[in-house]
Amino acid sequence: MRKGILSFVIMLTAHSLIAKEPVAIPDTTKIYQLGNVNIIATKGAAASSDKIMMEQMSDYNRTNLTEAINMLPGISISESGARNEGSLYVRGFNMLQVPIYYDGIPIYVPYDGNVDITRFMTFDFSQIKVDKGLTSVLYGANAMGGAINIVSRKPSEKFEANGMAGCKFGEGETGAYTGAINIGSNMGKWYAMCGASYIDNKFNTMSKKFVATEAEDGGKREHSAYRDLKLSAKIGYTPNADNEYSVNLIYQKASKQISPSIAGGQFRDYPDYNKKSIYYKSTTKIHDIIKLNITAFYDNYYNVMDQFDDDKYLTQNTKRAFHSIYDDYSAGGSVILENKIKENTFRIAFHEKYDSHKEHNGSIKANETIGQKEIDGEPVQEYIDNTISIGIEDIYSLTSSFDIITGLSYNYRSNSKAQEYGTNYYTGDKNVLYDFPVKSDDAFNYQIGLKYSFLNSHSLTASASGKSHFASQKDRYSCRLGSQEPNPELKSEFAYIYDITCEGYVSKYFQYSVSLFRNELKDAIYQITVGTQDDGTPLYKNTNAGEALFQGYEIGIGIKPLSALNVGFNYSYIHRKNKYDESIKYVGVPDHKFVGYFKYKLPFYDICLLGDMESNSSRYITSKGDKLPGYTIFNAKVTCKIIDGLNIEAGAKNFTDKYYCISVNYPREGRTFFTNLVYNF
């Protein structure tokens, strides 16, 4: 595989030297700059493979965060099939260790640190940026393996609007309807923008290559419908070039069915999966050399999960059935003071994040018609964490081309409440609400980076970091239905992160990024066997016993071999080793991943041809070494201008109808077709 990629690089490089037009530069005027989190020192080349722009998301029909971020190197998408949740890894780190931010606001769920990234539709994104090696301490706590920041749009014209309406087809029927619109205005001092997007997915389509089982007969995937609605709005005031103030709102409402395993098993639904956010961001120049940035936010997450007795999805009478309710919120903010004097930029930041998680199994009313018995509910159990981070960051320019970047932060997490209902872990009393002992934890993070900019359009960056991640509430307190012993004493994980990245432009027709990385984990949260349950199955406990090594490299290339053709690709190699016990394998991340894409505009016609492909090697699915096979999928699209500002699109996803899984017994969608109308004004 690697020999083929090397040949491809050489071929594209040769073509780029005779190109007639420069590589397309993405539009940055619509980026909401208050939502960016950047380490300064941007001389030389900008990173070419650490972000995906709104044009790419639109061009390649990446309608949700899972699909969009999967185009970047170092990213491996995953999913929890039993919860129908999209997830990801960044250079081997999971989403607990690489938090997700929206305009710099942390949006991960308080209890387990995760969030279903498939629920985040991309129609109002301006860019998605992934920081991997040298990551700003200004993100706050928990960014051990990096950070992912979704940046929203900001209007740049007095009036602007864009939208789309589309359909997906499979099994000879319309499988989904999609619609989105963004409307904005920038009048100089004032700007405002609002957006709405909606997806109604009737069913997912199984590959024709799937062999039917007792639980899944193929065609339309069993129990696979979902709906997503997202509303967003922002209003801002910019009295001058140095000051800006804005308020932002996001409302997301979803309901999703969970397809059962094709081998049979659990029968679940998420009738409610809702998220609400409001946040304030500002930047104020308070002196010629001093700037003050303030952020305040409130983020609410509410969901209901139902587990049923059987595939009729009606009754919940058995012991394994439940009506689970989560009601979580996070509130907090940050104050960042920036001082810039000639060749030196210094920042100091204070972050606070208050997390409240409430859960219980709700009562279920009797219904004689369907045979449902009355089921008593549980009292509400509450968990409360408070996280504080104080950080400093300094960028010193020794020369016009050489920068030294340093960062230091102290992070502190206190727990003031942790409740559970059931058998008291300490006394043995049954069906009682009890409290775990409250604990606190702290950690220092630090990093240093050297950046050398050369030949006007190239840069070389080397960095070393020591970063931590606090154990989540779930890691510390969950009993996992009796299979796990809680550990309130669980401490933070720590990792040493090393990265070397070279990036830039060779003429105007060839851009590149190459990274080498090595991540060493210590005190990693690791599940060990501590006994047996009453039925003889193992009893586990989370401990800080893990030692691991994640290392590899990434290559990203963008070229314009012809005046009407843009081509890009990236390749990632990631190898993960459990140093605690090398016979135990890390799951979910393939060693090799390749992504390629192109956009070709036909001469004399307003028609574009687009295509992309993704190839993954096999991945472990159990710590014992069981694997899922690798796969390669292809997507294609054609767009045609009808009138100025109005295009029609048609295409196919997975057009070779590849049958594949990234979670065992939960197949991904087979071949589907789509058509869209896209409007820009």
DSSP state of 516: E
Does position 223 have pLDDT exceeding 60, yes or no? yes
Residue 250 has what pLDDT? 97
pLDDT band for position 274 (cuts 50, 70, 90): very high
Contact 623, 584 (CB under 8 A): yes
Pick from 468, 443, 120: nearest CA to 277: 120
Contact 436, 486 (CB under 8 A): yes
Average pLDDT of 34-59? Answer: 77
Does position 314 have pLDDT exceeding 90, yes or no? yes
Q: Quote the percentage of the chain above a pLDDT of 70.
A: 94
Measured distance CA(41)–CA(402) in Å, rounded: 9
Residue 43 has what pLDDT? 52
Average pLDDT of 120-129? Answer: 96
Q: φ, ψ for residue 290 (rounded to 5)?
A: -125, 135
Quickly count: other Cβ atoms within 10 Å of residue 4's Cβ. 9
Average pLDDT of 4-20? Answer: 37
Measured distance CA(196)–CA(180) in Å, rounded: 6
**Encoding tokens for residue 187?**
């009048």
For domain 2-680, the question of CATH label 2.40.170.20 is answered with yes
Pick from 368, 378, 255: nearest CA to 314: 368
Does position 21 have pLDDT exceeding 50, yes or no? no
Average pLDDT of 129-148? Answer: 91
Residue 605 has what pLDDT? 83
- Find the range with the poorest average confidence among 26-30, 42-46, 458-462: 42-46
Does position 391 have pLDDT exceeding 90, yes or no? yes
Q: φ, ψ for residue 470 (rounded to 5)?
A: -70, 140
Residue 10 has what pLDDT? 36
Residue 16 has what pLDDT? 35
Does position 41 have pLDDT exceeding 80, yes or no? no
Does position 265 have pLDDT exceeding 90, yes or no? no
Residue 25 has what pLDDT? 53
pLDDT band for position 532 (cuts 50, 70, 90): confident
State how far Cα 284 lies from the chain centre: 30
Cβ neighbours of residue 380 closer than 8 Å, sequence gap 6 or more: 358, 359, 360
The residue that leads in pLDDT, 41 or 500, is 500
Q: φ, ψ for residue 12 (rounded to 5)?
A: -65, -35
**Encoding tokens for residue 300?**
């609410």
Quickly count: other Cβ atoms within 10 Å of residue 632's Cβ. 12
Residue 17 has what pLDDT? 33
Quickly count: other Cβ atoms within 10 Å of residue 506's Cβ. 15
Mean pLDDT (the chain) is 91
Average pLDDT of 443-471? Answer: 93
3-class SS string, 434-481? EECCCCEEEEEEEEEEEEEEECCCEEEEEEEEEEEECCCHHHHHCCCC
What does pTM read for this prediction? 0.92
Pick from 334, 323, 320, 458: nearest CA to 389: 334
pLDDT band for position 11 (cuts 50, 70, 90): very low
Residue 275 has what pLDDT? 96
Which segments of 265-321 are extended strands (E)?
268-287, 290-307
Q: Quote the percentage of the chain above a pLDDT of 90.
A: 76
Does position 562 have pLDDT exceeding 50, yes or no? yes
pLDDT band for position 26 (cuts 50, 70, 90): low
Contact 383, 369 (CB under 8 A): no
Does position 14 have pLDDT exceeding 60, yes or no? no
DSSP state of 309: S
Average pLDDT of 292-313? Answer: 96
**Encoding tokens for residue 375?**
């089921």
- Find the range with the poorest average confidence among 34-43, 176-185, 587-596: 34-43
Q: What is the DSSP string of 123-152?
A: TTEEEEEEE-SS--GGG-TT-TT-EEEEEE
Cβ neighbours of residue 581 closer than 8 Å, sequence gap 6 or more: none
The residue that leads in pLDDT, 11 or 558, is 558
Residue 48 has what pLDDT? 57
Does position 615 have pLDDT exceeding 60, yes or no? yes
Does position 19 have pLDDT exceeding 80, yes or no? no
In the block, which residue shows the tokens 């359009």? 457
State how far Cα 366 lies from the chain centre: 40
pLDDT band for position 639 (cuts 50, 70, 90): very high
Does position 482 have pLDDT exceeding 80, yes or no? no
pLDDT band for position 15 (cuts 50, 70, 90): very low
Average pLDDT of 518-533? Answer: 85
Residue 681 has what pLDDT? 85
Contact 184, 194 (CB under 8 A): yes
